[in-house]
Structure 1
């Protein structure tokens, strides 16, 4: 009988604690709260004169 009560209780407590840890703010090396860094910008891609992807350093390549 105890197992029938204990299992749902443990699952409910575990379910409530997950969102609190997922929304934790960022901390720096000293443990102080800081603003979280933005996501890395998408890498710029370039295309050559024929429309194929090329390295951005090649002559004639333009960013897309």
Structure 2
């Protein structure tokens, strides 16, 4: 009976462990994860080649 109680308790605690922060610092302690970097915007010219977004005729992809 004790075994079934421990098994049920471990299954109930599983979602709590799975939602823990996946990032750790140098000492191994859980920390807040850094913000993800946003990919730079890319633009293409009329011919379909990559161009600077400020240039005339360039459209974001």
TM > 0.5 fold call: no
Which TM-score applies when normalising by structure 2?
0.43
Query: Which structure features the higher share of strand residues?
Result: 1
Q: TM-score, normalized by length of structure 1? A: 0.43
